[in-house]
Structures are given as C-alpha cells and as structure tokens.
Chains A and B, each alone.
Chain A
Amino acid sequence: MNHNFQTVSKPFPRHEAAAKASGKAVYTNDICLPGMVYGMILRSPYAHAKVLSIDLSEAEEMDEFLGAVLPEEVPDKLYNSSGNPPSPLLLKDEKILTDHPLCVGDRILAIAAETPAALRKAASRIQIRYELLPAANTMEEALAPASAPIQPHLSDTNILAERVAEQGDTEKGFLEADFIFEDDFHTSPMQHVALEPTSCICDFSDGVHLNIWSNSQTPYQERRILAELFSISENHVRIVKPAMGGGFGARQQLHNQPACALLSRKIRRPVKMINTREEEMYASVIRHEMETHLKFGVTKSGILTAFQTEYYLNCGPYTTHTPTIVAAASRKFQYRVPNYLFHGYTVATNGPVAGAFRGYGNAQLTFGRELMMSRIARQMHLDPIEFRLQNHVKAGEKFPAAAAAVTSCAIEKCAIRCREIQAEIDALEDLTENEDICQAWGVAFSCHGSGPSSKEGMSAALLLANDDGSIHLMTGSADIGQGSETMLMQIAAESLGIPLSSIRISAADTDKTPYDTGTFGSSQTYVSGNAVASACEDLIRKLIQALSVSFADTEVSFTEKKTFLIPSEKKELSLQEAVRHCAFGMKGMVLMGSSSYKAQESPNPFAVCMVKAEYEKKTNSITLKHVIEAVDVGTAINPLTVKGQIEGGICQGIGYALTESLEYNKKAGKTNSSDLLSYRIPLLGDMPEIHAEIVESYEPTGPHGAKSVGELCTVPVAPAIVDAVSQASKKKINRIPLSEFFLIKPNQARSCTAYTRR
C-alpha cells in the first residue's frame, strides 16, 4: 500500500536525543529548588507488624534534622495509588503512612534533613518498636482456610476480587472436543528496574499550592488522587514530568509523593525524595506472581472447541491495579474459540506490592497459553505455526467474549517473515543435534491493545501556530523514554504537511498542557496520536475559515498534497504560507487547533516470536542463539523507535524467561533480591542475536494507520524461549525463570555481523 507519507513511517532520531547524549537532559534528581531539603521514608522491615512506638529524640538532637510526619498525622483516608481513571475495580485500601504495616517496605514515617548525609544519620537514630504479627507470605498460605483476611474491609477471605469473562458453554465445548489438554503454570515476580530510581520533589510549603516534579507516567490521575487526599482543588496541584529514565508500568501509580507532600507542608520547605535501588527492589512495585490452570479442547482436525482458565495473581497486601490487570488479561485470547471461560482472582498476601508492568496481565497468561499451543500442535503432529494460524481470529472477527471486532490483523505476514529469517539462519548455520548438544526452535504468538482494553483512553492536544507558520504542539502525553514526543511530532508534521523541524513540543505538565489519561496500556501512539491528528484537522479548518475571510469570493480547500487551494488566485499555499498570510493585519487572526479525543476502539497489534536455543547435556546449560520477532503495529510512525521498542521488549522478555525473579525468603518474609547482583537482568554480553522486524499493515482507525508496540513485543518472548528450551532439552517446563532448572550461558557473539540486516 502506498500512502505517500512524508514524515510518518520514516526513521527520525528522537528530538531530545542530543540533550540526552550530552548530559544536558534534566531528570528529577537534577532539579534543585531554592530552600530544597532531602526526605526519605522509613519502612517496615517486617511483613506484618504493629508499630508500638516511634522515638525521634536522638534525631531531634541534630541541628540538621528538620522533622517527621508520623502515621497519626496523615489524613484518615484510604486511597488506591494506581494512575488509572476512576473505576469500581480500583479498591481503596492503603494509607499514606501506617502503624500497621502489611508488607516489608510499607511506609511508616517520613523524615527530612538539610543534606543527604544528615538524612541517613537521622534515620539511623530513630527507634521504631514493633510487635510482630503472623504473615501470609504466599498465595497458598493466604488462601488457606485458617488465614486471617489481610484487607478485612474488602473481603472475609484473601480473594479481594473475582472476574469472569465467558462465551458459549465450555462444558459443551469440552464434550465436543476429541482431545483435552490441561496443565498448570507459574510465573515469578519481576521488578521493572527502570534505571532512574523513583523520584519526586514536592513543594507544598505554602500549604495551599502543591507543586510536584516526578517521574510519573500518569500525572493527571496523580493530580486527581492527591487533590482528593488533601481536600484541595485540582487547580492547586501541579505535576511536572521532567526527562524520565524509564517506567515500564512502575510509575503508573503514586509512590512517595503523598508522604513527601505532607512533609513539605509540615516543614514548609520543598523536599526531594529519591528511592535507593534497594527500595526500588523491595518497596516500590513488581509484576504479579501468577498461578494458572489452563484447559483446551481440540478436534481431530486441530480446531479449538473450548478454552478455560483459572488465573490467580498475587497482589501483595494492596490491590493497586490488580482487578484491572485481571480484566485486561481476559481480553487477550487471540484465537477463535466458541466456548471460553476466564476466571480470574486477585489474591492478597503479605508479599511485595504488585502493580502495572509492561504487558499488564497479558505476559503471565500468554506464557502458559502459548506453551500449551505449541505442545498441543506437536502432540497432534501439527505444525505449531499452522495450528495457531488455523485458529487465529481475522479482521472482522471477534476475540472470545469481546464486544468489538478486530479492525486489522497481519499475523500471517508476521509468521511468514519470521520463517524467512529462520530459513536464512538455518542456511548459514547448522541446527546441531548430537550426543551432547541439541539446538531447537520455539515459537509464540501475542497480541495486545492500543490504549486500555477498557477503552478508557482519552487525550487532548493543542496546536499553537506561531506567526511564521511554525507550530507549538502541547500534549499531556508523558514520554517516559520510549520516544512518544517525537512520534507525536511526526503525526502532526504529516497531518499538516510541514517539516518535523517546524514543530516544537511541550508535554506532561498539568498546569500547561491539556489532559491525557496517561502513559499506560500502550496508548500513546493510538490515543494521544489520534488526539494530535484531530487537533491538526481543527487547525486546518480554522485556517480555511481564516483564508475564506481574505479570499471571500472563492472556496478555499485543503488538498491531498497538504496545501490550501485558492481557486480565484490560482494559488496553492503551504500551511506555513497560509499561517503567515493570516497572521497580521486588519483581517489577522490568532490560529490554534485543539482536540478532545476519546478512544472508541483499542485495536490489537500482533506479534510472532521465534527463538533458537541450545542445550548442553554435560553442563545442563542453555544458551539463546537467536530471537526473531515480527510485529504488526499498523503503520510504524517511527520505524527507528519501533525497532527500539521491539529490541528492548525482547531483552525484558529474555530476563523474565531466564533469570529475573524477585526471590522471596519465606522464613524471613522478605526478598533476597535487594540489589542488581542478586537480581540479574540481561547485560550486553548476555544477548543473543536479535532480529526485529516490522511487517506492512494499516489500521483504519489509527493515526496514519498506526496501532501500538510497547507492551506487545515483550509478551511472546518468554513462552517462545521456554518452548525452544523444552524442545532442545526434551524437558517439560511449566515455570520461569529457567535459572531454577539450568545453568544459563551467554551466547558467544560472532565477530562478523552476518546477521545484521538492519
């Protein structure tokens, strides 16, 4: 398909890259306000306890100690920290500070001092006495009949929420099947390890206006929650997101901001709080541990008749996002199945708090589902890819239990492209199988949404036309490192027919930019992008009106060439010429375009991932050799950043499959994985050859045909890896990380770059 794109579908380096490459980009910790001091949270070392006393006296002897906020000083209100729009699924169950900690890392008190060194010293002088209480450290313990409810105001048991999604009659579907396949799967808790620690500066020193600089994915939701917590109006809360060192879902919620704000109000100084890496690991947020039981019914000819799952997520003591994550997971079954039953459970424990993480429930369920799809195919002597394609939904069909049909789907192209690359690799190197070494390929499919699958995505954009015809784009969309600002600038440049260099962007400042639901649910390209495209249409309409005042005797129109046609003058004006024409004089006009966009759809992007793995018997070790992933993301607005998303998603999937697990010591009731040596994420030397591919596709409802990429690309990686490793090692594996079973050896990189096709 030829769309004659000028700016879209072109690989532009991101606009802020030079600032980041030269150390000039300003992150939260680089900001210093006049009078600013340093704060920290003192946290519970116990999974369940009661605070008996807090003794500040030794800290108060220090001149540099500035004060503390204690549990009894916070508003007597429960809140939900997640940065989602209001929903009955979001249960209020946490307090800003607590004297009844329900997990290791729970917030007890907040303290401030003049310098970071004085802060550490003061913290060491504060005595907190606890009474230890029994804790439910695992889902098994929490679900045992004798287990006390962790959130008694929500439930008498530790199941805090349930979700059923169904279609047809699974009992009937299993009767119609020739074969039944069922199994249990487990995935481990994972930490985001965004390289920039969770950071905020809160200035509430006048007690009236709360100003926050923080690495936030959802500034507008956080503004709303904070305004409610402190009983102030939203126009008195400003949240600014500076340059941001990653998120991956971890900052789709409030962390230390409420306590930091109260501390600032009490000591009447701006307060900076930066988590240590240790706090990041045990006291921020993690991806849910999952237990699931999956059951498939299949006919002799390989057609799915029924699918059923019981899906348990361990949310820790506070629900945060969990019920919405469970709901989102129920909407990712990309195969045609007449009978479908999803039963999801939010399970409270005294383990670490879980929340949003790239994939939002999809990564966990897809892990078991895709492993089963490969196994079923092989047991029935079917090709695992053909088996999937045969059952896959097509454009116009619906996912099970879905209200709306799939609007575009190029999964077959993804599979073909993966197989082409697999064939090239197989032609260049052997697929070894001998007494000691066995290599094998594995495969997995995935899908996701573009914007929240609940279709709650909303965004607005403003375009200010400067009098020389250059454009200032203002959006609430938060670029957390993925490159959404450049992508939105490209959408605007394409829509307006002007060069990318003529656009400047301001984003994610609740005082200065219009509302955006937030950076989550892979929303930015589709939801914020549609808002920008719609604001461009508004600006064009305004310009036609303005030109019609100047050229009253003729019908002005906007052409496919992105010019304004003035028939009476036999003239075509570019947008910039048109703006200059209308900028000044008696008939001059200030030109602005605006939009308010509400998502009607959440179109599904699709991916196919193939992995070549090697098993060495002698050492019981595994090595990843190649990971291929081909994606259907509609139009890739910026192929350079889309490939970056795929490669980064693959890397996180590799970590998830191989080594990453927040190891939990049941006896001590706390995690052993408190730093980046005991929690091992992939390094450059660990990486296999990566082949990231974008297939041609066009989404009719997307801005210039685009869907999403961010979460999609990480989801199929772990099941494809485990499928390959199972094939190579001839072992059935139903849980990750694989470091529980094998020695993990890095791939020896080839010196030549025979595989560098980029």
Chain B
Amino acid sequence: MEHYSIHLTINGKKYTFFVTEEDTLLDVIREKAGLTGTKQGCGCGQCGACTVIMNQKAVNSCCILALQADGSEVETIEGLDSPSGLHPIQEAYIEKGAIQCGFCTPGMIMSTKALLDQNPQPSRPEIREALSGNICRCTGYTKIEEAVQAAAAKLKEVSHES
C-alpha cells in the first residue's frame, strides 16, 4: 500500500509521519507518536474515548484519516500537564472523584478543555451538550459535571492571578 508523508504538530512538537490512506489520526497518535494516553473504545466515533483537540476543536480521532489531519495542530492528554504540575482541569477531575476506571478520562478531559478554551464559564446545559459525545460507564457523570464546573472556577482564578 502506498505511503504518504504528513506533517503534524502534536502538543507543540513538529512531526513528520509516513501513513497509508487507511491510517486514522488515532493510529498515528497511538502507534506512530507513541502517545498511548488517547484511548480507542469503539473505533467509530460513538464513545468519545479517543477525543483530541485538532485546530481548537474537540474531534474523535478514530474518525479522522491521518491524511485529513495533514498540517494540523493537535493537542492530546499528554500535552496538558507541565513540569510545574497538573493542569487545573486534571486537578479538578482528581479532586472531585470524577475518575473511576479512567478509560474515558483522557477523552473527557480533552472535551472539557475544548469547551473551556472557547467558553470559560459554561452553563450546566452547555456543559452537558459539550460532554454528551463522551460515554462514561462508571461514574454516572455527576462528578464529571462537578469537575468541569470546578475546573472553570480554577481557571478563572488562575487568569485573575496572571
């Protein structure tokens, strides 16, 4: 099968990959870039476990062909924390008990980040809409919703301080 070269920026780092027309963005992130934090739960865009941010939008990376992503900027779960510590969204998920098995967590957190990047103080209906593409089978979503609210409050504090 023919291979094509694509250029991606993942978590601020530039990459060149050789991909086939069958490879998905998820395949590239997990298998070629070795960033296994992004999970595959269904492979057809129904569960949201593979959510990453591509050009500022939350996307199901299993439904995007690697060739379609050529030239994009991608953020994955590995791009959130820094040497100075965890991202406020990650802290909020941990503190609120919003993580159980954790398989949905990376995707859930990336959907949360995409929401809060665009809308720093979302209402409950806005949170519910933004996260309704991500299935969680463990938590019943109560603590996830609380974590998003807590993360928004934390980020507001950070932006006031800076």
Q: Which residues on A are within 8 Å of B, measured CB to CB?
A: 11, 13-14, 16-18, 20-27, 29-30, 117, 192-197, 243-246, 248, 276-277, 480-483, 640-641, 643-644, 646-652, 675-677, 681-687, 690, 692, 748-751, 753, 756, 758
Contact = CB atoms under 8 A, between A and B. Distances in A.
Contact of A245 (B39, B129, B143): B39
A394 B104 CA distance: 41
B140 A17 contact: no
A378 B160 CA distance: 57
B125 A245 contact: no
Interface in B118-162: 123-125, 127-129, 131-146, 149
Contacts of A20: 99, 102, 105
Contacts of B131: 684
A195 B81 contact: no
A243 B86 CA distance: 20
Given A21-B90, A246-B138, A753 B41 contact: no
Interface stretch (B2-10, B43-51, B53-61, B65-73): B43-51
Nearest to B132: A685
* Shortest beta-carbon contacts, A-B, top 7: A23-B37, A481-B101, A245-B103, A20-B102, A651-B140, A647-B140, A23-B77
A721 to B, nearest CB: 14
Contacts of B103: 27, 194-196, 245-246, 481
Contact residues of B: prevailing secondary structure: loop
Given A117-B22, A687-B140, A17 B132 contact: no
Contacts of A246: 100-101, 103, 137-138
Contact of A648 (B41, B105, B138): B138
**Residue among B20, B42, B90 with the most chain A CB within 10 A?**
B42
Contacts of B149: 753
Nearest to B38: A23
Given A676-B135, A685-B129, A758-B146, A644 B100 contact: yes
A277 B43 contact: yes
Contacts of B81: 22
**Residue among B43, B95, B102, B132 with the most chain A CB within 10 A?**
B102
B42 A676 contact: yes
B25 interface: no
Contacts of B123: 751
14 contacts: A29-B36, A30-B36, A196-B41, A197-B40, A245-B41, A277-B41, A647-B140, A651-B137, A675-B42, A675-B46, A687-B140, A749-B124, A750-B124, A751-B125
A678 to B, nearest CB: 10
A643 B86 contact: no
Given A18-B86, A195-B135, A245-B101, A24 B140 contact: no
Interface residues of B, number: 59
B136 A195 contact: yes
**Residue among A21, A646, A649 with the most chain B CB within 10 A?**
A21
Contact of A196 (B38, B39, B76): B39
Contacts of B39: 27, 29, 195-196, 245
Contact of B90 (A18, A195, A685, A758): A18
B64 interface: no
Given A684-B134, A684-B141, A686-B132, 6 more contacts: A13-B94, A21-B90, A21-B93, A22-B37, A681-B137, A687-B142
B150 to A, nearest CB: 11
A414 B20 CA distance: 59
B37 A13 contact: no
Contacts of A194: 101, 103, 137
Interface of B: 1, 20, 22, 35-44, 46-47, 49, 76-78, 80-81, 86, 90, 93-95, 97, 99-106, 109, 123-125, 127-129, 131-146, 149
Nearest to B107: A195
Contact of A681 (B35, B109, B135): B135
Contact residues of A: prevailing secondary structure: loop
B47 A676 contact: yes
Contacts of A24: 37
Contact of A640 (B37, B97, B127, B140): B97
A196 B104 CA distance: 8
Nearest to A747: B128
A250 B13 CA distance: 40
A687 B132 CA distance: 10
B139 A648 contact: yes
Contact of B132 (A26, A192, A643, A684): A684
Contacts of B49: 195
A156 to B, nearest CB: 40
B141 to A, nearest CB: 4
Contacts of B94: 13, 17-18, 21
A192 B125 CA distance: 28
Contacts of A652: 137, 140
**Residue among B123, B127, B132, B142 with the most chain A CB within 10 A?**
B142
A193 B46 contact: no
Nearest to B22: A117
A649 B95 CA distance: 21
Contacts of B37: 22-24
Contacts of B46: 277, 675-677
Contacts of B38: 23
Given A196-B39, A481-B102, A751-B124, A21 B137 contact: no
Contact of A647 (B44, B90, B133, B143): B143
Nearest to B77: A23
A89 B97 CA distance: 39
Given A30-B36, A277-B43, A21 B86 contact: yes
A27 B36 CA distance: 9
A13 B145 contact: no
Nearest to B103: A245
**Residue among A483, A646, A685, A756 with the most chain B CB within 10 A?**
A685
**Residue among B39, B80, B133, B140 with the most chain A CB within 10 A?**
B140
A640 B98 CA distance: 9
B135 A648 contact: no
B145 to A, nearest CB: 7
Contacts of A684: 127-128, 131-132, 134, 136, 141, 144-145
